[in-house]
Amino acid sequence: MLQRISTYLYLRPQLVLGLLLGPPLLYMLVVYLGSLFNLLVYSFYYLEEFTGLIVREFTLRTYAQIFEPANRDIFLRTAGMATAVTIVDALIAFPLAYYIAKFASARLKTWLIIAVTIPLWSSYLVRVYAWKLILAQEGILSWFINLLRLDGVLNWLLSIEAIGGSSLALSPIGLFIVFAYIWLPYMIIPIQTALERVPGSLVEAASDLGAKPLQTFRTVILPLAFPGVVAGSIFTFSLTLGDFIVPLSLGNSKFFIGQAVYSYQGTAGNIPLAAAMTMGPVLIMIVYLLIARRLGAFDAL
């Protein structure tokens, strides 16, 4: 009867632990970590060019391929984009986060926070799609630029080799705008949280000691909010590094890491190279997670 099972288990807490922890742990270890480890192993194999087959021998040859000019370009391009996105997102996010943390009344604050997180709850893919609409040549942004008589500026921008393209929707500039848009909430929230923790009394103390508002901002508020900026920037940086959907939808032929990986493992069948290239973002994220754990982010769960 159930009672007997209950007593049996009561006297054997280790068994209960095994029963509880077993299924989820096994699942994650086998399915997830197993696949990751498998991928790592593959990154040490290499693709035989002539046969198109993967040779299962330990070698660092594939990693060396990452440093070839073509791949190096990809890394640099992606890193550059990630940096630009991070900076711009920080600039846009800060005023909003600052306002929410310091100037909004309690009621307004709740609504504003909901307003900031709503985009996160809406589908990622759909939000990317929205920009396809907006950036289209005949679309709303073009119309707006026309209205402001800025088409000349736009064409000039598009003609610049590194960041231009045939149209907004198919250029790094467009990519840049979309990335900045998509990851913005991830930057706002940590900054806002960090600013919340700056006690109002510090600001008052600073002005009491004679600092003008701008000085107070520069010397007191900004340094204290900085960890929030760092937290947010890790999101924007690593998310941009790994993304392939946005470049695929809106970019041109110049690859980013995500796209490169996607194509290498797809038609090219070059799984070792794809695996090797993903290890970069993986490493960054794991380091970040470990730091976050040390700083206690997981305890709050």
Partner 1 sequence: MPSKSSSGPKASLGLKLAALGGLLFLHVPIWIIFLYTLTPDETTFTFPLPGFTLKWFGVAMQRADLWRALTLSLQVAAVATVAALILGTLAAAAVYRSRFFGREAISFLLVLPIALPGIVSGIALRTAIGGFDIPFSFWTIVIGHATFCVVVVYNNVLARFRRMQGSQIEASMDLGANAFQTFRYVVFPNVATALLAGGMLAFALSFDEVIVTTFTAGQQTTLPIWIFSQLTRPRDRPVTNVVAMFVMLITFIPIFLAQRLSAQSSDTEGETK
Partner 2 sequence: MTDSSTPAIKFDQVSRHFGEVKAVDQADLEIRDGEFFSMLGPSGSGKTTCLRMIAGFDRPTYGQIYLYGQNVSDLPPYERNVNTVFQDYALFPHMNVGDNIAYGLMIKKVPKTERMRRVEEMLELVKLPGYAGRKPSQLSGGQRQRVALARALINHPRVLLLDEPLGALDLKLRQQMQVELKSIQQRVGITFIFVTHDQEEALTMSDRIALFNQGRIEQIGSPSEIYEHPASAFVAGFVGTSNLVRGEVAKRITGSEVTFSIRPEKIHLGSANELVLADSYVTDGNVRDVVYLGLYTRYLVELDGGGDLVVVEQNLKTTSMDVLKIKGQRVRLHWKKEHIREVGG
Binding site for partner 2 (CB under 8 A): 6-7, 10-11
Residue 80 sits in the site that holds partner 1 (CB under 8 A): no
Residue 66 sits in the site that holds partner 1 (CB under 8 A): no
Give the integer Cα–Cα distance in Å for 107 and 125: 31
Q: Which of 86, 87, 110 is nearest to 100 (CA)?
A: 110
Question: Which window, 13-21, 66-74, 151-159, 219-227, contacts partner 1 (CB under 8 A)?
Answer: 13-21
| 235 φ/ψ angles, rounded to the nearest 5 degrees | -60, -55
Residue 140 sits in the site that holds partner 1 (CB under 8 A): yes
Question: Which window, 71-79, 156-164, 181-189, 224-232, contacts partner 1 (CB under 8 A)?
Answer: 181-189
In angstroms, give the least distance from the CB of 17 to partner 2.
16
Give the integer Cα–Cα distance in Å for 215 and 129: 42
In angstroms, give the least distance from the CB of 142 to partner 1.
8
Alpha-carbon distance values, 64 to 23, 69, 78, 141, 284 (Å): 39, 11, 19, 43, 19
In total, the chain counts a number of residues equal to: 301
Q: Which does 21 bind (CB under 5 to 8 A by kind): partner 1, partner 2, none?
A: partner 1
- Give me the residues paired with residue 47 across strands: 54
Question: Which window, 1-9, 78-86, 151-159, 225-233, contacts partner 1 (CB under 8 A)?
Answer: 1-9
In angstroms, give the least distance from the CB of 166 to partner 1.
16
- The continuous run of DSSP H or E covering 300 comes out as none
**Residues whose CB is less than 8 angstroms from the CB of residue 235 and which lie 6 or more positions away in sequence, other chains included:** 183, 186, 187, 190
Residue 232 sits in the site that holds partner 1 (CB under 8 A): no
User: Out of 12, 212, 218, 293, which residue is the one contacting partner 1 (CB under 8 A)?
Assistant: 293
Q: State the Cα torsion 234-240-244-245 to the nearest 10°.
A: 100
Taking the least distance from each CB to partner 2, the nearer of 6 and 51 is 6
Taking the least distance from each CB to partner 2, the nearer of 6 and 201 is 6
Three-state DSSP class for residue 205: helix
Q: Which does 11 bind (CB under 5 to 8 A by kind): partner 1, partner 2, none?
A: partner 2
In angstroms, give the least distance from the CB of 195 to partner 1.
11
Alpha-carbon distance values, 53 to 61, 69, 133 (Å): 15, 24, 41
Residue 142 sits in the site that holds partner 1 (CB under 8 A): yes
In angstroms, give the least distance from the CB of 76 to partner 1.
18
Give the integer Cα–Cα distance in Å for 85 and 78: 10
Residue 157 sits in the site that holds partner 1 (CB under 8 A): no
Question: Which window, 60-68, 70-78, 90-98, 157-165, contacts partner 1 (CB under 8 A)?
Answer: 90-98
